[in-house]
Amino acid sequence: MKNILVVCGAGASSTFLAHRMRTAAKARGFEVTVKAVSQSAIDSRMPGIDVLLVGPHLADELSVLTEIAAGYNVPAALLPDDVFGAGGEEAALDLAIETLGASDPVFSTAPSSPAPISTIRPDTHGEPLMTERTAQIASSHGLHARPASLFTQAVATSGVKVNIAKGDGKAVNAASILGVISLGIESGDTVTISSDDANADQVLDDLAAMLGRDLDAE
């Protein structure tokens, strides 16, 4: 098992590239973990990492990030400019393989295992139940302006339809910046994010973790 870390400025783009890479790795039968981190938090996430992939918008910081990674004996590589587009997860996974070394045994096909049983149960009307996560807003100014923009972009990039609600209030489309701002979410408020997508678990986990960071400070 090898651990890949993807770093970008605020952690939003890397969060969903990491999610897509995990899906691609699973499809290839690779036994890897892929995690995301913001540039400001990279030091705390390096222990245990085997390769660092740097977002293309951090090209000017590559030497600094490479030096940080070297302090943990971890190789680093710059992701291509189009990595956040269609098929970017495959290119990123290929870059990780190349950086680690194509002969690394981690990239041999993993033993086949039985298909997992879905944990989504139908409700009494035959519709799938909503998967939910709650999170406390850590951004110092709540979900306004930049934090709201980063959050809604991350939702849109995930490809999963997600709703967000403040407390017991109405839920809005979490990919809509106007909808999110209209909720008036302040620092310390508790929100619920939900989805009926069958593949929502990891996306909601990543979004909840994102809301639990101070995006104003990143």
Instruction: Please write the tens of the pLDDT for every residue from 59-80.
Output: 988 888 888 888 889 999 999 9
Sequence-separated (6 or more) residues with CB below 8 Å from residue 17: 6, 8, 36, 79, 83, 84, 88, 89, 92
pLDDT at 11 over 50: yes
Asked whether the beta carbons of 39 and 8 are under 8 A apart, the reply is: yes
Provide DSSP, 49-92: -SEEEE-GGGGGGHHHHHHHHHTTT--EEEPPTTTTSTTHHHHH
Instruction: Please write the tens of the pLDDT for every residue from 139-161.
Output: 998 988 888 888 998 888 888 89
Q: Does 162 lie in the same domain as 91?
A: no
In this structure, what token pair is assigned to residue 64?
């600094």
Running DSSP on this structure, what letter comes out for residue 194? E
> The domain spanning residue 34 has which CATH number?
3.40.50.2300
- The answer to whether residue 164 sits within a structural domain is yes
Q: Does 85 lie in the same domain as 9?
A: yes
Strand order across the 171-173 sheet: 131-136, 190-195, 163-166, 171-173
Q: Does 140 lie in the same domain as 53?
A: no
Among 107, 122, 157, the domain-final residue is 107
pLDDT at 32 over 50: yes
Q: Does 102 lie in the same domain as 189?
A: no
Q: Does 143 lie in the same domain as 95?
A: no
Res 127: pLDDT: 52
Band (111; pLDDT cuts 50, 70, 90): very low
Average pLDDT over residues 174-191: 91
Q: Does 138 lie in the same domain as 72?
A: no
The residue behind tokens 């090209």 is 59
pLDDT at 203 over 60: yes
Rounded Cα gap, residues 100 and 95, in angstroms: 8
Rounded Cα gap, residues 116 and 201, in angstroms: 14
* pTM attached to this predicted model: 0.56
Q: How many domains does the chain have?
A: 2
Give the domain range for residue 56: 2-107
> The domain spanning residue 178 has which CATH number?
3.30.1340.10
Band (112; pLDDT cuts 50, 70, 90): very low
Rounded Cα gap, residues 151 and 211, in angstroms: 8
Q: Which of 19, 57, 125, 144 is catalytic?
A: 144
Give catalytic status of residue 144 as yes or no. yes
* Average confidence score pLDDT of the chain: 82
Sequence-separated (6 or more) residues with CB below 8 Å from residue 126: none
Instruction: Please write the tens of the pLDDT for every residue from 116-133.
Output: 333 343 444 445 567 889
Q: Does 9 lie in the same domain as 43?
A: yes
Res 119: pLDDT: 35
